[in-house]
Amino acid sequence: LKIGTLNCARVAGEMEIEKGIAAAGKPIVDLHGIDDGLIQKIVYDALVWSSLHGLVVGDRNDQRSGKLPGVGMVHAPIALLPTSFPESHWKQACELAPIFNELIDRVSLDGKFLQDSLARTKKVDAFTSRLLDIHSKILEMNKKEEIRLGLHRSDYMLDEKTKLLLQIEFNTISSSFAGLGCLVTDLHRTLLSDYGEDLGLDSKRIPGNTATGQFAEALAKAWTEYNNPRLTFKEYTLMVLVFLQPLKLKNAICMTSIGFLGITYNVKTIRKTLTEIDSEGQLLPDGTFLVYVSSYYCIECGQAVAVVYFRAGYAPTDYPSESEWRARLLMEQSSAIKCPSISYHLAGTKKIQQELAKPNVLERFLESKEDIAKLRKCFAGLWSLVDSEITKKAIEKPELFVMKPQREGGVENRVFGPTSGNNIYGDDVKETLLRLQKEGSEEDAAYILMQRIFPAASPTFLIRDGICHKDHAISELGVYSAYLRNKESVIMNDQCGYLMRTKVSSSNEGGVAAGFAVLDSIYLT
Ligand code: ADP
Ligand code: MG
Ligand code: MG
């Protein structure tokens, strides 16, 4: 911990920021009025707490980070205090979780809808095309996933002008940060217990966060549902966590929480990369997925796998060769429960989000008019680039739009380092649209257009690398949810905790301030 450098950096233009407070979002306390000494004390405590409780990430300043476990870690980038969030919108987001779970499940069963909606994208987006190929093979096999497990995160921003809670996206693969999100909640609750009186804040206004426990419960329940007659002893059934690199800390630490599966539920887990699965995995004729592992009892044992959890596999770079694609197909063809299945994965693409927002599409999947109305209320404007009126408008006023390719993980990268995201903003929207028009290619099918949401910005203390900065920031609330179903029986359909991410408002996804997003929690107002 860089306690030596601990100070509250005065950012340029701070006075301008202070003046803007009243007009923008509501800070939970008057940050201007807080004594600097008190802030430093809270920062110090926050950093000690983080290191003691594993609220840490790989330190990109340490070359050994990610190479040796337990070496080269630093506290996670965090907001010093929780960010205010209206209780009514929080309740709304929680209420939406089981409805989205059900919707995604139904969409996943409609193979034709997925293939048709993504047919144009397939032609120009090689990655989506490979996913669709796997999906087609599964459809040809007429294979039914009877046990379906989804561990999702639906992300929202609160639009300042309309006061509407609008969905950014729905994640169905590698919904990250559940573990760290819970820890940030605990940290903030602890800080408010200790300093709440000084700050005039009540720690109970921070909702409890049990995302990790509930995700572990869902995985364990799925493991119980998996009933393979080949397995004489349940303890031989494993859960495989699919990773990019065995030691890639950003993924590993996110999933440590799942580690307690073994302690609480007696489920054995192993970690494998897609590349390893290609050489160590086997598909038996009856659909059983075996992974060869060395154990105390035998040098090389084929162990049957009940559940496969993907903590990687959502980005083109996760598939550097044919090996990784073979591994993905092998697991998909097996009877193991995949979280997510290829259908769930596709149902979570941005293109499908945009298709679902078209008139009368939700009605194809859901019966309840009330549920449909609730979902629609949180949909922002979403369009395909085929809509020439919208593209014209986006060229005229690009600042009102975001252009999105079919990619995942933009924000996650930003929390861990200054990499740019995948989306296109501002003048780049205009330039890209004009280029696509000029070229007249079908590349437009790789993108969707989305209404840009403008959340209120408020002054926030953000801590990174042991240093506390004050800046104007905006937030995005992610609500986790779990869905488990076996044939007609829905075993779990729950909202499961949350994650607030707060970023400096001057950054889009990329830009100069990129990399400055922090993990946060919410203070209900
Ligand atoms: P990813 O799957 O890469 O996380 P997102 O759709 O979540 O893709 O976009 C990444 C980030 O871009 C979001 O976390 C949010 O900060 C920003 N963003 C996305 N859509 C919008 C939007 N419509 N308005 C404002 N910001 C957005
Ligand atoms: Mg995403
Ligand atoms: Mg996102």
E-state strands within 159-222? 165-171
The pLDDT of residue 367 is above 90: yes
Could you give the percent of the chain with pLDDT greater than 90? 67
Give, for 189, the enclosing helix (H) or strand (E): helix 178-199
CB of 107 sitting under 6 A from ligand 1: no
State the pLDDT confidence band at 239, using cuts at 50, 70 and 90. Answer: low
24-73 residue pLDDT tens:
456 777 777 788 999 999 999 999 999 999 999 888 888 888 777 788 88
Distance from Cα 30 to the centre of ligand 2, integer Å = 33
CA distance 459 to 39: 14
Asked if the bond preceding 340 is cis, omega within 30° of 0, the reply is yes
Q: Determine how β-strand 301-310 pairs with β-strand 238-243.
A: parallel
Distance from Cα 358 to the centre of ligand 1, integer Å = 20
Residue 464: partners with Cβ closer than 8 Å, 6 or more residues away? 77, 516, 518
Mutate to test the pocket of ligand 1, among 169, 415, 419 (most ligand atoms within 8 A of CB): 169
**Closest ligand 1 atom, residue 453 Cα:** 24
CA distance 123 to 129: 7
Query: How confident is the model at residue 200, as a pLDDT?
Result: 94
Q: What is the DSSP string of 98-142?
A: HHHHHHHHHHHH-HHHHHHHTHHHHHH-HHHHHHHHHHHHHHHTT
**Closest ligand 1 atom, residue 501 Cα:** 14
CB of 57 sitting under 6 A from ligand 1: no
100-125 residue pLDDT tens:
999 999 999 999 999 999 999 999 99
Report how far Cα 335 is from the mean position of its chain's Cα atoms.
26
For tokens 């986790």, name the residue.
Answer: 480
Distance from Cα 168 to the centre of ligand 1, integer Å = 6
What's 488's DSSP letter?
A: T
What's 147's DSSP letter?
A: E
Query: How confident is the model at residue 272, as a pLDDT?
Result: 87
Query: How confident is the model at residue 233, as a pLDDT?
Result: 47
Angle at 159 between CA 475 and CA 464, to 5 degrees: 10
Going by CA atoms, what residue is nearest to atom 18 of ligand 1?
168
Known binding residue 509? Answer is yes
Distance from Cα 52 to the centre of ligand 3, integer Å = 29
The pLDDT of residue 248 is above 70: no
Give, for 483, the enclosing helix (H) or strand (E): strand 467-486
CA distance 477 to 521: 9
Task: Report the complex ipTM.
Answer: 0.99
Going by CA atoms, what residue is nearest to atom 23 of ligand 1?
452
447-463 residue pLDDT tens:
999 999 999 999 999 99
- Residue 6 or residue 100, greater confidence: 100
202-222 residue pLDDT tens:
999 999 999 999 998 999 899
Is residue 295 within 8 Å of 268, Cβ to Cβ? no
Known binding residue 311? Answer is yes
Q: What is the mean pLDDT of the chain?
A: 86
Query: How confident is the model at residue 85, as a pLDDT?
Result: 97
Query: How confident is the model at residue 410, as a pLDDT?
Result: 64
Report how far Cα 313 is from the mean position of its chain's Cα atoms.
13
Known binding residue 303? Answer is no
CB of 422 sitting under 6 A from ligand 1: yes
Known binding residue 226? Answer is yes
Distance from Cα 263 to the centre of ligand 1, integer Å = 36
Give, for 149, the enclosing helix (H) or strand (E): strand 147-158
Q: Determine how β-strand 8-9 pairs with β-strand 401-405.
A: unpaired
Is residue 337 within 8 Å of 222, Cβ to Cβ? yes
**Closest ligand 1 atom, residue 171 Cα:** 2
State the pLDDT confidence band at 235, using cuts at 50, 70 and 90. Answer: very low
Is residue 48 within 8 Å of 55, Cβ to Cβ? no
163-179 residue pLDDT tens:
999 999 999 998 888 88
Closest listed ligand to the CA of 450: 1
The pLDDT of residue 498 is above 80: yes
462-485 residue pLDDT tens:
999 999 999 999 999 999 999 999
Known binding residue 486? Answer is no
CA distance 282 to 309: 17
CA distance 342 to 148: 11
CA distances to 199, 214, 409, 512 from 515, rounded to whole Å, are 29, 29, 13, 9
Give, for 404, the enclosing helix (H) or strand (E): strand 401-405
Query: How confident is the model at residue 277, as a pLDDT?
Result: 92
For tokens 């995302």, name the residue.
Answer: 211
- Residue 437 burial (C-beta neighbours within 10 Å; 0-12, 13-18, 19+): middle
Known catalytic residues are 153, 169, 171, 176, 350, 404, 408-409, 501
Is residue 182 within 8 Å of 176, Cβ to Cβ? no
CA distance 484 to 145: 12
Query: How confident is the model at residue 20, as a pLDDT?
Result: 37
CB of 380 sitting under 6 A from ligand 1: yes
Mutate to test the pocket of ligand 1, among 411, 422, 505 (most ligand atoms within 8 A of CB): 411
CB of 517 sitting under 6 A from ligand 1: no
CA distance 304 to 281: 10
What does the domain layout of the chain look like in residue ranges? 3-524
Q: What is the mean pLDDT of residues 416-441?
A: 82
Known binding residue 225? Answer is yes
Query: How confident is the model at residue 364, as a pLDDT?
Result: 98
CB of 168 sitting under 6 A from ligand 1: yes
For tokens 């380092």, name the residue.
Answer: 417
